[in-house]
Amino acid sequence: MHDDLERVLFSEAEILAGIDRVAAEITAAYCGNEFTVVSVLKGSCVFCADLIRRIPIPLQLSFVAASSYGQGTEAGELTLNYLPSNNEIEGRSLLLIDDILDTGNTLYRLKGELLARGAVSVETCVFLDKPARRAVEFEADFRVLQVPDLFVVGYGLDFRGMYRNLPMVGVLKPAIYAATASPTPPITLDRGVRDSVEPSDPRP
């Protein structure tokens, strides 16, 4: 898999140092308050697992997932497939965790949905922030690393379900995804709720 990378953008050591920093920020923000971490499947599972083990205060853990059906590289309508149960949302302070923030559509939609279902507050935490792709006014409350507008994989981020298990974040060689960029039948995004699949980002 390493041979499919154009270059390594963030090493494992850089990633873990960033997670240590954000974990300390979250601990300070939520100390003395009950809260629930809501992990967006599947992309954030690696990040979330490392993050919560560095937060030494009580928390609960839940998950959320959704699908987008579209043609080829065009995103379709975002459909929420799975949300935490009402007793995990109502009256709770939530910390929504995602792997990458690019257009902002996903976290904007999810935050609104969770608040509408009775959450007291919803803050957001992302592993990677790609502000160059922002389509709505939305910023994460906590972020580990900022990335330029590049096609990145590793540490939970995938291309067609692969590369999630890389311990670093790397730039995928264009030849890898260009070979699979032709239109395909409607697909389900296996990265859970993600912002969108833009033409420059043909991963499913």
Q: How far is CA 57 from the centre of its chain?
A: 23
CA-nearest of 83, 42, 63, 82 to 189 is 42
- Prior bond of 173 cis (ω within 30°): no
* 41: number of Cβ within 10 Å: 19
Helix, strand, or coil here: 149? coil
The helices-and-strands tally (H runs, E runs) of the chain is: 5, 9
Round to whole Å and give the CA distance between 104 and 108.
6
Phi, psi for residue 191 in degrees, rounded to 5:
-85, 15
Residue 102 is a catalytic residue: yes
Torsion of CA 66, 71, 76, 82, to 10 degrees: -10
102, 158, 195, 201: the catalytic one is 102
Catalytic residues: 102
